């Protein structure tokens, strides 16, 4: 891990840690406030935030673990653990959203009458606390932090809905607005969950990342002097940011050490230009049979 990656990793870990403690502390306030205001919406949000505390806690753990160096067990290091944490957070967000729907839909048929003034105060605090944590995480690039930021976005939108409804309830008796807004916000969040799953599943399935074209990389390498063809070429990503390239090269004749070094240097320039984090290239002598089976061409 270079200095830039090291700094970015620790910054992301610190952001998640801050969000965790902010969310945990405010969840306690929510539970107490929900009982004091007799608001089922706030109590439901408190249950949801308890789930978010778990998501933030495991995201913090996996983000820290992802910075560890490789070893005999995990030779590529622990970067993929961050993506695994993002997947767990996404699943948890989906479950918590279903729970919110299960609480909100019945209340459309039988709305409750909570303490609107108390809800206003809690909603203002909720928007502030969760908004602060979300803004800090939104500056990070990792998949893990993006998913956690989505958790916090759900909380911010939820508290904004509570704030709007509680202000309306101060003047007009329409409690059904609360569950209706909760359903709309939750459906919006669930649509983002689906988008996140579509982004993460190709990572676990080792698909070629969208921001890299395998054929282009292969064509550029095949244009190099003495390179006859490229086969067994693969590009996949560890965590959505750090991409891996591997390939076998056929050369047109036996080359001396200087020529081999020149080919490898040109390949290094190519893979760096395409933003590839790690590359492994095997050069095969003329007539040598590939050890990995049939070639791509």
pLDDT tens-place string over residues 49-94:
776 777 677 767 766 776 677 778 888 777 777 778 778 778 877 8
Nearest of 234, 232, 236 to residue 206 by alpha carbon:
236
DSSP summary character for residue 114: -
When pLDDT is cut at 50, 70 and 90, the band that residue 297 belongs to is very low
Higher pLDDT, 4 or 69: 69
Structure tokens at 217: 């990389």
Higher pLDDT, 39 or 139: 39
pLDDT tens-place string over residues 93-110:
788 788 878 888 888 888
Kindly state which CATH superfamily the domain 3-204 is placed in. Cation efflux protein transmembrane domain (1.20.1510.10)
Position 162 scores a pLDDT of 82
d(CA 137, CA 52) in angstroms, rounded, equals 14
Q: Which residues contact residue 50 at a Cβ distance below 8 angstroms, ignoring those fewer than 6 apart?
A: 27
Task: Produce one character per residue of 69-79: b if its CB has 16 or more CB atoms within 10 Å, e if not.
Answer: eeeeeeeebbb
d(CA 283, CA 208) in angstroms, rounded, equals 22
Most confident of 33-42, 49-58, 196-205: 196-205
When pLDDT is cut at 50, 70 and 90, the band that residue 220 belongs to is very high
Paired sense of beta strands 243-251 and 227-237, if any:
antiparallel
DSSP codes of every residue in 167-199: HHHHHS--TTHHHHHHHHHHHHHHHHHHHHHHH
Domain with CATH 1.20.1510.10 in the chain: 3-204
d(CA 179, CA 105) in angstroms, rounded, equals 7
Pinpoint the alpha helices (H) of 205-238. 214-222
When pLDDT is cut at 50, 70 and 90, the band that residue 14 belongs to is low
Q: Provide mean pLDDT across the span 267-294.
A: 85
Average pLDDT score over the chain: 80
Instruction: Tell me which CATH code domain 214-284 carries.
Output: 3.30.70.1350
Nearest of 166, 30, 23, 8 to residue 82 by alpha carbon:
8
d(CA 267, CA 148) in angstroms, rounded, equals 37
Lowest model confidence (mean pLDDT) among 2-11, 79-88, 102-111, 280-289:
2-11
Domain with CATH 3.30.70.1350 in the chain: 214-284
Higher pLDDT, 179 or 293: 179
d(CA 62, CA 66) in angstroms, rounded, equals 6
Q: Provide mean pLDDT across the span 213-227.
A: 93
- The three-class DSSP label of residue 236 is strand
pLDDT tens-place string over residues 249-277:
998 888 888 888 999 999 999 999 998 98
Position 4 scores a pLDDT of 46
Position 69 scores a pLDDT of 77
């Amino acid at each position: 891990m270079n200095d830039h990656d090291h700094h970015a990793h620790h910054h992301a870990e610190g952001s998640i840690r801050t969000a965790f403690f902010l969310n945990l502390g405010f969840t306690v306030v929510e539970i107490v406030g929900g009982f004091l205001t007799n608001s089922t919406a706030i109590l439901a949000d408190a249950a949801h935030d308890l789930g978010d505390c778990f998501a933030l806690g495991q995201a913090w753990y996996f983000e820290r673990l992802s910075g560890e160096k490789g070893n005999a067990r995990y030779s590529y290091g622990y970067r993929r653990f961050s993506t695994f944490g993002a997947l767990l957070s996404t699943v948890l967000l989906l479950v918590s959203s279903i729970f919110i729907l299960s609480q909100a839909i019945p209340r459309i048929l039988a709305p409750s009458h909570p303490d609107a003034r108390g809800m206003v105060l809690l909603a203002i605090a909720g928007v502030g606390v969760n908004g602060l944590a979300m803004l800090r995480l939104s500056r990070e690039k990792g998949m893990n932090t993006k998913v956690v930021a989505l958790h916090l976005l759900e909380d911010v939108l939820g508290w904004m809905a509570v704030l709007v409804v509680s202000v309306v309830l101060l003047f007009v008796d329409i409690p059904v607005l609360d569950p209706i807004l909760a359903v709309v916000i939750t459906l919006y969040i669930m649509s983002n969950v689906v988008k996140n799953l579509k982004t993460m599943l190709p990572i676990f399935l080792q698909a070629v990342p969208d921001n890299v074209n395998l054929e282009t990389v292969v064509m550029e390498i095949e244009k190099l002097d003495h390179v006859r063809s490229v086969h067994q070429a693969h590009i996949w990503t560890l965590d959505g940011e750090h991409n891996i390239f591997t390939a076998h090269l056929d050369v047109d004749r036996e080359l001396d050490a200087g020529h081999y070094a020149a080919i490898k240097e040109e390949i290094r320039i190519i893979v760096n230009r395409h933003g590839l984090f790690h590359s492994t290239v095997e050069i095969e002598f003329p007539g040598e049979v590939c050890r990995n089976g049939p070639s791509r061409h």
